[in-house]
Amino acid sequence: MEFFLTQEALFLFVGLFLFGAIASFIADVWMNDGGRLANLLAHGAAMIGSFVGFIMAVVVLVNGRGVNWEFESAFPLLELSFRLDGMSAFFLGLSACIGVLASIYGYGYQRHFIGSGRLGSYGFFYNLFVGSLLLVGVANQALFFLLIWEMMSLASYFLVVFEREKIENVRAGFLYFLMTHFGTAFIVLACLLAYHATGSFSFDAWREAFGTLSSGTEFLILSSALIGFATKAGLIPLHIWLPEAHPAAPSHVSALMSGIMVKTALFMLFRFFFDFFQGARVEWGVAFLIIGAISAILGILYANAERDLKRILAYSTVENVGIITIAFGAGLALFALDQERVALFALAAAFYHLVNHAVFKSLLFFGAGSVVSTTGTRNTESYGGLIRVMPYTAAFFLIGSLAISALPPFNGFVSEWLTFQVLFVGIVGAPLAVKSAFLFALAALVFTSGLALACFVKVFGITFLARPRTDGAKDACEVSWLMLSPMALLSIATLALGLFSSHVLSALTGVVASIGLTNPATLRFPFLEIIASRHAFADVLPLAMIAIFLVITLAVVFMTIRIMTRNRTVTIGPTWDCGFPLSGRNEITATSFSRSLVTIFRGVLRPTRQSMIEYHDEQTRYFVKAASIETGLQDIYRERLYYPAGKMLHFLADRIRRIQTGNVNMYILYLALALIGALLWAARA
């Protein structure tokens, strides 16, 4: 096991991804097998590489001591510095788990594209993507981090436009490209400001400077970091790329993007606000609470209004990122209010939800991918009745839906419960202004969980229940075991993370405490003590007990009823059809299922409706020839925020263009003026 703490392990880990990237590319070019070998190499290397990363993370977590590796590079200021401490090992372990499963799933999923001549380049970018995804939390130097961050963004861009024959995918890719670089610009700015203030790009140097920076500089650094990482995390209103880009990518890549990539941003926010700089201020806490609350509630509202299966999941990612942000903000505020233990608890809740969301969102994206690959469409209106042809996928998807709707005894409930408790503490204990932010976040969280329930009833019911609506759904079949087994493992993980919540929570508290918020000696306390200090709000959540009781009750009820009614028969008959034979068109659709909710929240969602009726007889208007109706939502972010911003940019550019007269004499004048200005400035210094 010691091997996994050495440099060789790191080289093996990184080398496997590089090998996968290059080998699959070469295999596709040289072998004439339509990309079969490339597919195997791409996913095999990524899987083994992720597995090595996973073991490294586990060894670090078990040993309880971190490792550092540093390599000089040929470039000035750039240093290849790796740091595996408790936090990054935790994050590496989580990402690597999902990476292994996504690679297994991807091997099955991408077999559709054998013969398309695209798997070579896909394998190249997939390996770069997974590799950079795993390394981004381990990087310990700002420039090196930015390099990996950019690699992650670019590789994922190429994965988003994988099916490039569809125009909407190319558009989604472009939007993603644009937005991710908007975010990166702010991250670069934050890093440069930090360099200016501390004189170093090394994260360790930033840690050493903790608390010594002036509050103005710190505010600038942290607000740039917030804008930059919020773009990647998909917090509203910087989310617009997320529901476009995540659905466009192949499903296992969507799972990695939604499950892990948005979390890297949250992870880095955590690093910036707690680890590097003193971000634990009440104002930041309130800001995070409000941003998180808005993202959570709007995200799930948009998810309700969607009918594209993968877009629903993408919007629900926005919602869940919002929930994590709420817990994170509560942690910041409570930490600043000297309630360190509750703050620690809040951070643990945030990380718990981060893990949970990675697990069940990957599960749901895998399930969605199976459905999409067998029916050939992402439109939920074309599904129906898939529970009969895809029983395993349906069962796994049901578990994922229950978990994401935060229903006990699954894992989503635990982290939401914890977030609730933290918010309660804030509402009772914080000063008035902060209290109202907590109350606002609580209200948003309560509505969010109700709306998430409605959303996932819709998704599961419309996709898997009742009769097939199209031939595509009728002819669907179950996917291969390669795609089912990752889902099965994630379903087990979902349940286990719920049932053994107290163990998970104490482990997470340890991880959070390991970065040493204050004096580490005061923070290494056992789990039970935290529970006792939480204003005695509730006992430890005995989710395993609830599950056992539920199963026992269910078994007793089932057997009793069975014995009581053993003489009764069960007849299978058609659904009551009111005398008119039922078809797939008599069922409720996804649009009409959520129409009432959309109508209630029309002030926010801005539903649009365009209808057109043509008559045979224009005067009397009795006989309709053709009628059409088009419903959708108005995209208020683009109309109110992005288009005006774009227009403003155009306007400014137009103004500035006036100095470009084309006259050479003018340019010489500019040169002369600039020179004089520079000389004056130099003379002043």
Contacts to other proteins from residues 450-469, by CB under 8 A: 450-451, 453-454, 456-458, 460-462, 464-467
545 binds other proteins (CB under 8 A): yes
Report the site for other proteins in 571-590 (rule: CB under 8 A). 571-577, 582, 586-588
| Binding span for other proteins by CB under 8 A among 26-34, 52-60, 190-198, 449-457 | 449-457
| Binding span for other proteins by CB under 8 A among 147-155, 278-286, 514-522, 591-599 | 591-599
* Binding residue (CB under 8 A) for other proteins from 69, 182, 219, 424: 424
Q: Please give the helix or strand (H or E) that residue 474 lies within, else none.
A: helix 471-474
CB of 498 to other proteins, least distance (A): 12
Q: Which residue, among 490, 501, 458, 503, has the nearest Cα to 596 in the 3D structure?
A: 458
399 binds other proteins (CB under 8 A): no
Report the site for other proteins in 472-501 (rule: CB under 8 A). none
Query: Which residues contact residue 130 at a Cβ distance below 8 angstroms, ignoring those fewer than 6 apart?
Result: 17, 46, 49, 50, 99, 102, 103, 256
Query: Which residues contact residue 163 at a Cβ distance below 8 angstroms, ignoring those fewer than 6 apart?
Result: 169, 248, 250
Q: What are phi and psi of 235, to 5 degrees?
A: -80, 140
Here the tokens at position 143 are 């420039």
644 binds other proteins (CB under 8 A): no
Three-class SS of residue 613? strand
Spell out the SS3 assignment of 153-218. Answer: HHHHHHHHCCCCCCHHHHHHHHHHHHHHHHHHHHHHHHHHHHHHHHCCCEHHHHHHCCCCCCHHHH
648 binds other proteins (CB under 8 A): no
618 binds other proteins (CB under 8 A): no
Q: Which is nearer to other proteins, 145 or 460 (CB)?
A: 460
433 binds other proteins (CB under 8 A): no
413 binds other proteins (CB under 8 A): yes
405 binds other proteins (CB under 8 A): yes
Length of the chain: 685
Q: Which is nearer to other proteins, 291 or 402 (CB)?
A: 402
Q: Which is nearer to other proteins, 59 or 406 (CB)?
A: 406
Report the site for other proteins in 514-543 (rule: CB under 8 A). 535-539, 541-542
447 binds other proteins (CB under 8 A): yes
Half-sphere exposure of 35 (CA within 13 A, CB side): 20
Q: Which is nearer to other proteins, 222 or 451 (CB)?
A: 451
* Binding residue (CB under 8 A) for other proteins from 384, 400, 498, 510: 384
Cα gap 55→99, rounded to integer Å? 13
Q: Please give the helix or strand (H or E) that residue 305 lies within, else none.
A: helix 282-305
Cα gap 565→651, rounded to integer Å? 78
Cα gap 103→126, rounded to integer Å? 9
CB of 396 to other proteins, least distance (A): 14
How many residues sit in the footprint of other proteins (CB under 8 A)? 76
For 384, other C-beta atoms within 10 Å of its C-beta total 24
CB of 503 to other proteins, least distance (A): 17
* Binding residue (CB under 8 A) for other proteins from 90, 109, 203, 417: 417
Q: Which is nearer to other proteins, 69 or 447 (CB)?
A: 447
* Binding residue (CB under 8 A) for other proteins from 568, 657, 658, 684: 568
439 binds other proteins (CB under 8 A): yes
* Binding residue (CB under 8 A) for other proteins from 496, 546, 604, 641: 546
Q: Do strands 79-84 and 67-72 pair parallel, antiparallel, or not at all (unpaired)? A: antiparallel
* Binding residue (CB under 8 A) for other proteins from 36, 181, 595, 638: 595
What separation in angstroms does the CA of 537 have from each of 7, 368, 438, 447, 503?
A: 47, 39, 17, 22, 19
